[in-house]
Structure 1
Amino acid sequence: MKLRIIAGLVAASLVGSVSASDVSYDNLTLSWNDATIDGDGGSDLDLDGFGAGVSFSLNKNWYMALDTTMLSGNEGGVDADLDISTVNFGFHNPISNNTDFIAELGYAKADSEATFAGVTVSDDESAANLVLGFRGMATDSFEWGASVQHMDFDDSTTFLNLEGRYYLADNFSLGLTGKFESDINIYALEARFDF
């Protein structure tokens, strides 16, 4: 089911931060998320909604991130809702002064519900996810990230994740993230507060 795939993908949309140079692992993120799923027969399902997350350092190289995302949409008479909660443990290690290698392992729980013509179908799943990639500072004000992510829901899928973040102040930034798979595109506009 395509909603299961989107659940896994969005569950990881707010993975923790990286600490290359001046980037913080300790932060609070609020986001607006928009997802498009290519449906059978050329029809698309559009979902959008809010997300929130918190990330905090456990020690010099380890961090933890807790996230939740609530999405909903109505396409072709189908009302769809998707709620995702995740716990991610991450490890980072600098490979240069401004770039970190990251590895994350997470647990995701997704609850989905769809209603059509008065008939409601619901499902919940849990899954593991693995993220491997790089993040760092391109300039003093611009943070970037690129990773490959494997989500282990019933329909295991691998995604390419890209992000860019601009710091308006030392501890406040706005970011755009994109997550790409052959049938799914998810974008998020994020506001992040480092502490």
Structure 2
Amino acid sequence: MELKSKLALSVAAFIAASSPALADDHMGNGPKWDLAEVGYVEADIDGDDTSPSGFSGAFSKTVGKGFYLTGRYRDVSEDISIAGDSIEIEVSQLSLGAGYSLHVTDTTDVYGQVTFENLELGVSGFGESDSDDENGFGAEIGLRTMVTESFELGAKIGYLDVEDESETTFGASAYYYVTDNVAVGATYEMWEDVDFMGLNLRYAF
């Protein structure tokens, strides 16, 4: 990750500045916050011909009025050929945290969250392997809205700080509920020098 200007974000200030009148229940036609999903993810690394791919998983669980726990794991890898030998590169990310959402209309929520972040980069080949494991934190604010009863759109902006290197991230998502509880969706997340694109299956409970 390359150093970028830090996102001026305080989740605590975001929550405190929000009107209590907006923090009503999360029932009705708004986005679902109790969910789990799995999917396929592909990374596009800037300035490199590699496009490692793999799997992802995520969950969100409400623990009180507006509060929720969240987690995500994704792992991508690719075999590349150097001097006739195969080398595997692998990138994994684990995020665990908590957040708060505000039900601002019948169909739209805004939210803020903070997370513990773990990034692991690995390379193996020629009978050897090496890895670099780094920890840090993240913060994110975003919006989720039900455009129709079955179609959800989302957008977010985030900040990552891992081993004293930081950057701003951007993301978008779209999900279609084929039943009241099951949805299929696509996600896109942009970092400084890598983009993540995903296809997911979601179960809301």
Instruction: Give your verdict on TM over 0.5.
Output: yes
Measure, in 1, the Cα distance between the counterparts of 2:126 and 2:95. 32
Q: In the alignment, which residue of structure 1 is the partner of 2:77?
A: 72
Which sections of structure 2, spanning at least 5 residues, go unmatched?
3-25
Alignment of 1:57 onto 2:62: yes
Measure, in 2, the Cα distance between the counterparts of 1:182 and 1:65. 24
Task: Provide the TM-score with structure 2 as the length reference.
Answer: 0.78
Identity %: 24
Contact 2:108 2:146 in 1 (8 A): yes
> Structure 1 stretch 176-185 or stretch 163-172: which is displaced more?
176-185
Alignment of 1:48 onto 2:53: yes
Which sections of structure 1, spanning at least 5 residues, go unmatched?
3-18
* Aligned-residue offset at 1:100: 1.2
> Structure 1 stretch 62-71 or stretch 121-130: which is displaced more?
62-71
* Aligned-residue offset at 1:184: 1.6
Measure, in 1, the Cα distance between the counterparts of 2:125 and 2:168. 30
> Structure 1 stretch 24-33 or stretch 76-85: which is displaced more?
76-85
Contact 1:46 1:74 in 2 (8 A): no
Q: In the alignment, which residue of structure 1 is the partner of 2:95?
A: 86
Measure, in 2, the Cα distance between the counterparts of 1:173 and 1:91. 23
Instruction: Give 1 or 2: higher strand fraction.
Output: 1
Measure, in 1, the Cα distance between the counterparts of 2:102 and 2:43. 31
Q: In the alignment, which residue of structure 1 is the partner of 2:11?
A: none
Q: CA RMSD in A?
A: 1.9
Q: In the alignment, which residue of structure 1 is the partner of 2:21?
A: none
Q: Return the letter of the residue paired with 1:50.
A: F
Q: Return the letter of the residue paired with 2:195.
A: N
Q: How many residues align?
A: 176
Q: Which one of the candidate residues 158, 165, 173 is aligned to 2:175?
A: 165
Q: In the alignment, which residue of structure 2 is the partner of 1:26?
A: 34
Q: In the alignment, which residue of structure 1 is the partner of 2:19?
A: none
Measure, in 2, the Cα distance between the counterparts of 1:28 and 1:181. 24
- For the pair shown, which has the larger CA radius of gyration, 1 or 2? 2
1:1-195 pair list within 5 angstroms:
21-39=29-47, 43-77=48-82, 78-115=87-124, 117-154=126-163, 155-195=165-205
